Amino acid sequence: MRREKRRSGWIALAALVAAAAVQAQPLFRDVAAEAGIDLVNVSGSPVRDYIIDSTGNGGGLVDYDGDGDLDVFLTQGATAESLALGGEPVLHLYRNDGDGFVARSAAAGLTARGWANGMCAADYDNDGDQDVYVTAHGPNHLFRNDGRGGFEEIDAGDDARYWSSSCAFADYDRDGWADLYVANYVVYEPDRIPARGCNYLGNPTFCGPLGLTAEPDQLLRNLGDGRFADVTAASGLAAAPRYGLAVLFADLDGDEWPDVFVANDSQANLFFRNRGDGTFEELGLLSGLAISGLAEPQAAMGVDIGDVDGDGDFDLFITNFSQDHNTLYRAGGPGLYSDVSFASGLGGPSMPYLAWGTGLRDFDRDGDLDLFVANGHIYEDVETFGIGSTFLEPNLLFANRGDGGFDDVTAGAGSGLAVRESSRGAAFGDLEGDGDVDVLVVNMAAPPTLLRNDGPARGGFLTVRTIGARGTRDALGAVLLLAAGGRTQVAQVRSGESYQSAHDLRQHFGLGPAAKVDALTVRWPGGGRQRLADLPAGRVVVVAERAP
């Protein structure tokens, strides 16, 4: 075990804001402009005549240079006109220098152009640094981190040209290399689709996704030599194509093999259970995850997992379209889920909003998982539809009551949550090293929102970085059990989730009033356990798997 250094706050006002706060809940402030992150998002035409103009972009909080703090990545779309000329730079990088951020895209070799959508990150080549995969319209992009502050675009052996949305890394066959799942959306053929040729509730809108051809998702197996092979069909994942927008690549049934959950737009979700022999079986309906408790498919946009009720297993949350509810599925046994959206307090407040990126994190450090939801409509003129929705919407924060029920605390959560944008991707991590989880939100046709968590925490924290030896270097799939203050928390190292965004792979635990961690147990992928005891609170610790 090693302790990582902690960086001082990159904006000194954080301490003043926290001292002035009177409520023990997160107080978020948008510091994007003063931190130097000013990229204006481009993602289609502002007129939004076609579906391609509506889905927006994601971003990432990733420590690309290995200095211990998180850097900011933003994917960038394009317009039809700029794409005809080669498109926009697909990935922008802002390096965290401790007191602000510095644009480093060109210096880091991130010069590829096109129309990007989202990203995921992991150490796919096990060389000790974070590599980045960017989803796009047309060819996707794999950027290999050279370990010297730069990236090299690599031919991953994937020649497909889909509309790719979200992606996630995991070692599905447990051979020690991070494989890649890519969710794909629709076949976009503007010459065959009339502008605003469809309607929603009697109002003219762009067409899709219903009525358009869905594209197949992909499972790309890491061959260990820098290349990937498409094994979608051989692994049993070639189900009928659906409108995939978000993917979760993690163990959902507790058998230590990573499963795949795909959040689909306007169609039933998919849950592929990993059989452990290189193949999967689709169990969406049997698991309860395919449709809502009302027995209807929803228009799913984003996804995350976490143990919201403290019973030791992973519950699953998805975001959905407006005039419908976001859905919390409670785990009731290995691979079995039930819809508890309204019983948990999350269903009703979500109805007016169109939700995208999301994260289950302990924002107030009281020992249970809270919920952040990024919102924004797809129809620029939705205010005229008479349904009570707006194009620019507030993002939402829900505090966990400690029993798996939630309260909407947005109104008291700081000026950053009073910002109204049409938000899409959301990424999560501790930017300052102060133990609070911050949020990067990507907004349509606007700069991003960088929500610094300034609220007075209700307790201490422990952040854990895992380094694998027998599996992937990131220890993707490792399960962490933390005992402190008479309760046990569980977390899983995973890449992806939310919507088109990448997050800090370190696992953050709020400790409430506990002054120390009684025990931290790491269950490594493929077997093996390590237990650490009596860890002081307020630390970032590194746990390295013992070599076989």
Mean pLDDT by groups of 10 residues along the chain of 548 residues:
41 40 74 97 94 98 98 97 95 96 98 98 98 96 98 89 98 98 96 92 95 97 96 93 98 97 98 98 98 97 99 98 98 95 98 98 98 98 95 98 98 97 99 97 99 90 98 98 98 97 99 98 95 97 93
Count CB atoms within 10 A of the CB of residue 226.
14
Q: Residue 487 in contact with residue 498, Cβ under 8 Å?
A: no
Tell me which residue of 122, 118, 153 sits closest to 136, measured CA to CA. 118
Give phi and psi for 2, each to the nearest 5.
Answer: -130, 155
| CB neighbours of residue 147 within 10 Å | 12
Contact 273, 262 (CB under 8 A): no
Using CA atoms, how far apart are residues 72 and 501, in angstroms rounded to an integer?
A: 11
Please confirm whether the linkage preceding 26 is cis (ω < 30° from 0). no
Count of Cβ atoms closer than 10 Å to residue 532 Cβ = 15
Pick from 377, 334, 370, 338: nearest CA to 355: 377
pTM to 2 decimal places: 0.95
Question: What is the full DSSP assignment across 141-183?
Answer: EEEEE-SSS-EEEE--S----EEEEEEEEE-TT-SSS-EEEEE
CA separation for the pair 454, 145 (Å, rounded): 32
Strand order across the 259-264 sheet: 244-250, 259-264, 270-274, 280-282
CB atoms within 10 A of CB 487: 14
No. of helices (H) and no. of strands (E), the chain: 5, 42
Helix-, strand-, coil-residue percentages of the chain, each rounded to 5: 10, 40, 55
Looking at residue 24, its pLDDT comes to 66
Nearest CA-CA partner of 301 in 331, 280, 322: 322
If you ran DSSP here, which 8-state letter would residue 448 be given?
A: -
> How many Cα atoms are found within 13 Å in the side-chain-facing hemisphere of 459?
23
Give the Cα separation of 38 and 348 in Å (integer): 35
Place of tokens 């210096």: 107
Question: What amino acid is encoded at 273 in this protein?
Answer: R
Question: Sheet containing 539-544: which strands, arranged edge to edge?
Answer: 2-3, 539-544, 460-467, 507-512
Amino acid, single-letter form, for residue 397: L
Largest Cα span, the chain:
64
Q: Which of 457, 465, 461, 455 is nearest to 435 (CA)?
A: 461
Token reading at 439: 């949020």
The answer to whether the CB of 125 falls within 8 A of the CB of 86 is: no
